[in-house]
Structure 1
Amino acid sequence: MNRTLVTGGTRGIGAATALRLARDGHDLVLGYTRDDRAAEETRLAVEDAGAHCVLVRTDLTEPEGVDRLFECAGDLTGVVNNAGATLHLGPLAETPPDVVAATVDLNLTAALLVARAAVRALGTSYGGSGGVLVNVSSGAATLGSPGEYVQYAAAKAGVDALTVGLAQEVAGEGIRVVGVAPGIVRTTIHADAGEPGRVERVGPLVPLGRAGEPHEVADAISWLMSDEASYVTGTTLRVAGGR
């Protein structure tokens, strides 16, 4: 039986991924930091899909929070390293230093700590049975996001480097490390950063002419975690409508 941990697993792309994996036969452990109502709604949806679900509320920007999450998770076969946020919209010169630091802490440092813990949970030399780590990056990592959130793009570029390097480092541990890079997707990340209408503004500029939906990213993650992708590691799949 597959047992997968999804960080940021109760809203947006994380919630869609949890539901898709539940339908694929995974039991779920969902990490989150706030919004108990959304967490409970996601848990019920996952259980309605036939999976067992554990919720763990914790702060991944604290090393102790990462440790607690994995302690609660138990034995795992996969990890989706998804938690992240843009936190702010605007030019870098107009972004407060504490926001820059918080963005890097959440989107890169926490992702590194989750990846570290995932290797210790999955790696055969640590007593694990191997598995898959999916790092959720962003199309911003290669576009740079000028005028919007350069600091977020830089952090996500670090996540792409993490995927490449760690995949080679842990191939002998029975772990595949892969990434997915969403483009503009219809989630609350935009409203949370201060622009609720960003999807409507940016979506039509994508070559496919629209924003993506969370389930479209979840479908890519599902494939990357499946045996159909058994020879895929060290690469990031772009799910960005051609942008």
Structure 2
Amino acid sequence: MASDTSKIPAQQQQWPGTTSSLDPAPDHGETSWTGRHRLTGKRALITGGDSGIGRAVAITFAKEGADVAISFLPEEQADAEETRKQVEATGRTCVLLPADLRTEAAALEVVTGAVDGLGGLDVLVSNAAYQMSHQGLEEFPGEQIVRTFETNVFATFWLAKAAAPHLAPGSSILVTTSIQAFEPSEPLLDYAATKAALNNLTVNLAAELGEKGIRVNAVAPGPIWTPLIPSTMPESKVEGFGADTPLGRAGHPVEVASAFVYLASDEASYVSGTVLGVTGGRPVF
């Protein structure tokens, strides 16, 4: 049974954070997810697949029959190795692709590595993101604004551009956006703006790639318990994280991964250009 996330205690980590230090432990579907062969034979590239939502997507995809490649920052190698261990325990392939996706060349290299390692590509999950909170506009460093947009928006554009030629009809591109695109909070000014941009990009990519039979959708998580939270927010904001949602708690990564499984599956064959909220009850519109 997943640990209780209704009363998360104050805690802090150095960015980018590690899964093993989280209290309570997050659920990525390691034991809780039961596969139903919904992605058998598919090959997926998942960015930010070392921890959090990305790890849960990798594990659930593998349990559904997909082989995966994950990208991650080099300093996140230990978490990436744990993801690979969990994926390989299901009998599926997991290709590790360390990279900083802030350049078009890096994005192209990761896509090429995934295609070579998996023998093709059917699903791109652009999930890697950067955020760092500040209490006032004057506190946001210029270099942070650039990094946030490069990591969240530019990389998604470059990944989609590089992946599209490899995607056949029936393939899909999935993007992680956020409740912040709809309910932005001031300490995450730049991050929220990038997530709103990704919603727009998702709709435009769906229109652009639809004639090729490629579906493009986004998932907008609410407060999800991942290493990103204690490594980018003050302790006072981490304590009780997610308790202000209608469901009264933060979500586990596996609870977001279920949306990605659906959108990547043939069950969603007529779903494109949409943003699916997994927010604990907060509105997404």
The TM-score, its normalising length taken from structure 2, stands at 0.80
Q: Percent identical across equivalent pairs?
A: 40
Q: CA deviation at 1:102?
A: 1.1
Report the secondary structure of 2:199's partner residue.
Answer: helix
Q: Report the counterpart of residue 184 of structure 2 in structure 1.
A: 144
Q: CA deviation at 1:87?
A: 2.6
Q: CA deviation at 1:129?
A: 4.8
The residue correspondences of 1:80-99 to structure 2 (distance < 5 A) are: 80-99=125-144
Q: Report the counterpart of residue 104 of structure 1 in structure 2.
A: 149
Report the secondary structure of 2:242's partner residue.
Answer: helix
Q: Conserved in 1, the CA contact under 8 Å of 2:103 and 2:150? A: no
Report the secondary structure of 2:240's partner residue.
Answer: helix
> Does 1:35 find its partner at 2:76?
yes
Q: Report the counterpart of residue 196 of structure 2 in structure 1.
A: 157
The residue type paired with residue 42 of structure 2 is N
Q: 2:101 aligns with which of 60, 64, 85?
A: 60
Q: 2:247 aligns with which of 208, 213, 218?
A: 208
The residue type paired with residue 101 of structure 1 is V
The residue type paired with residue 29 of structure 1 is A
Q: CA deviation at 1:112?
A: 1.3
Q: Which has the higher helix share?
A: 1
The residue correspondences of 1:3-42 to structure 2 (distance < 5 A) are: 3-33=43-73, 34-42=75-83
Q: Report the counterpart of residue 86 of structure 2 in structure 1.
A: 45
Q: Conserved in 2, the CA contact under 8 Å of 1:167 and 1:234? A: yes
Q: CA deviation at 1:121?
A: 2.2
The residue type paired with residue 13 of structure 1 is I
Q: 1:183 & 1:27 partners in 2: Cα distance?
A: 27
Q: CA deviation at 1:89?
A: 3.3
> Does 1:225 find its partner at 2:270?
no
Q: Report the counterpart of residue 164 of structure 2 in structure 1.
A: 119
Q: CA deviation at 1:98?
A: 1.1
Q: Report the counterpart of residue 28 of structure 2 in structure 1.
A: none
Q: 2:136 & 2:257 partners in 1: Cα distance?
A: 30
Higher RCO, 1 vs 2 (CA within 8 Å, ≥6 residues apart): 2
Q: Conserved in 1, the CA contact under 8 Å of 2:49 and 2:70? A: yes
Q: Detail structure 1 runs of 4+ shifted over 6 Å in the superposition.
A: none
The residue correspondences of 1:173-192 to structure 2 (distance < 5 A) are: 173-192=212-231
Q: Report the counterpart of residue 125 of structure 1 in structure 2.
A: none
Q: Cα RMSD between the aligned structures?
A: 1.3
Q: Report the counterpart of residue 206 of structure 2 in structure 1.
A: 167
Q: Which runs of 5+ in 1 are unaligned?
A: 123-127
Q: 1:180 & 1:92 partners in 2: Cα distance?
A: 28
Q: Conserved in 2, the CA contact under 8 Å of 1:8 and 1:32? A: yes
Report the secondary structure of 1:103's partner residue.
Answer: helix
Q: CA deviation at 1:191?
A: 1.8
Number of equivalences: 237
The TM-score, its normalising length taken from structure 1, stands at 0.93
Q: Give CA-to-partner distance per residue, 1:93-127, whole Å, 9 cap, x none.
A: 321111111111111111111122221221xxxxx
Q: CA deviation at 1:202?
A: 3.5
Report the secondary structure of 1:154's partner residue.
Answer: helix
> Does 1:133 find its partner at 2:173?
yes
Q: Conserved in 1, the CA contact under 8 Å of 2:230 and 2:238? A: no
Q: Give CA-to-partner distance per residue, 1:128-184, whole Å, 9 cap, x none.
A: 4540110000110111112x1111000010000011111011101120000000010
